Amino acid sequence: DAGITQSPRYKITETGRQVTLMCHQTWSHSYMFWYRQDLGHGLRLIYYSAAADITDKGEVPDGYVVSRSKTENFPLTLESATRSQTSVYFCASSGQGSGELFFGEGSRLTVL
Amino acid sequence: QKEVEQDPGPLSVPEGAIVSLNCTYSNSAFQYFMWYRQYSRKGPELLMYTYSSGNKEDGRFTAQVDKSSKYISLFIRDSQPSDSATYLCAMSSWGKSTFGDGTTLTVKP
């Protein structure tokens, strides 16, 4: 089915471990984004990508790494997870970078 | 101070009421203005999208943008229990969107 899918949907890990959240879209959208959503902070942009091999920092990039070797995939890696990274992570894509975002269902990460 | 401020809510209204959701912003570079609806444990979905001052209507929903006052609103007419969700305003410039914190709406039958 066409759309944007995230995996895993739920993840529990321990402090210091590396975690990778996957995002895949089938629309061939140029733009892809990672947001985190926390109570009291709304959606905050972590990283975004305007095209394959082009990535840029958002509002809260510290502790995260992204890559985009293929247009359809945009993985987010937490190199050494911390408790403050417990959150719901949303991947989104956009065809034109005009603000019309299509979101995945989210990945709920708990860091113990 | 945040670039986008959204009326926090929560809002609880009876079925059939008119609902008004509001956001203000400080960044004049914002070019596009959106409203998203988010059901519990789901991703946000785009509800309304505008790029100019004025009103845009889609069924029971009307988005209003006032660039001179840096103010946007979403009106929901004849609200239904299925409208119960969190509503997020968002504004975009140069490909990046900034979101408000969301307003949770409950429509009671």
**Per-residue pLDDT tens over the stretch B86-102:** 999 999 988 889 999 99
Nearest Cβ partner for B49 among A44, A50, A100: A100
Q: What are the CA-CA distances from residue B46 to residues A68, B43, B103, B107 (Å)?
A: 24, 10, 15, 20
What is the phi-psi region of residue B95: left when phi exceeds 0, alpha when psi lies from -120 to 50, beta otherwise? left
What digits encode the pLDDT tens for the residues B31-80? 999 999 999 999 999 999 998 889 999 999 999 999 999 999 999 999 99
B32 interface with A at CB cutoff 8 Å: yes
DSSP letter at A85 equals: G
What is the pLDDT confidence band of residue A39, given thresholds at 50, 70 and 90?
confident
Question: Taking CA atoms, what residue in B is nearest to A108?
Answer: B41
Residue B100: per-residue pLDDT = 95
Cβ-defined contact of B97 to A41 (cutoff 8 Å): no
Asked if A47 and A36 touch (Cβ cutoff 8 Å), the reply is no
A16, A36, A56, A75, A112 from A19: Cα distances, Å? 9, 15, 20, 10, 13
Residue A56 predicted with pLDDT over 90? yes
**For residues A49-61, average pLDDT:** 94
DSSP string, B14-76: ETT--EEEEEEE--TT--EEEEEEE-TTS--EEEEEE-SSEEEEETTEEEEEETTTTEEEEEE
Window 58-77 of B: residues touching A by CB (8 A cutoff) are: none
The C-alpha atoms of residue A82 and residue A2 are separated, in whole angstroms, by 34
Q: Does the pLDDT of residue B11 top 70, yes or no?
A: yes
β-pairing, A102-103 with A4-7? unpaired
Dihedral sign for Cα atoms in the order B95, A92, A42, A78: negative
Q: How far is B34 from chain A (nearest CA, A)?
A: 7
Q: How confident is the model at residue A41 (pLDDT cuts 50, 70, 90)?
A: confident
- Residues A89-105 have a mean pLDDT of 91
A99 near B CB under 8 A: yes
Q: What pLDDT score does B22 carry?
A: 97
User: HSE of B9 in the Cβ direction (CA atoms, 13 Å)?
Assistant: 23
Q: Residue A8 pLDDT more than 70? A: yes
Please tell me what DSSP assigns to residue A30. S
Query: Do residue B44 and residue A43 have CB atoms under 8 angstroms apart?
Result: yes
Chain A CA closest to residue B97: A99
Tokens matching residue A1: 């089915």
Residues in chain B closer than 8 A to A44 (CB atoms): 99
Rounded CA gap, A96 and B106, in Å? 33
Mean of pLDDT over chain A: 94
Q: How sure is the predictor about A109, in pLDDT bands with cuts at 50, 70 and 90?
A: very high
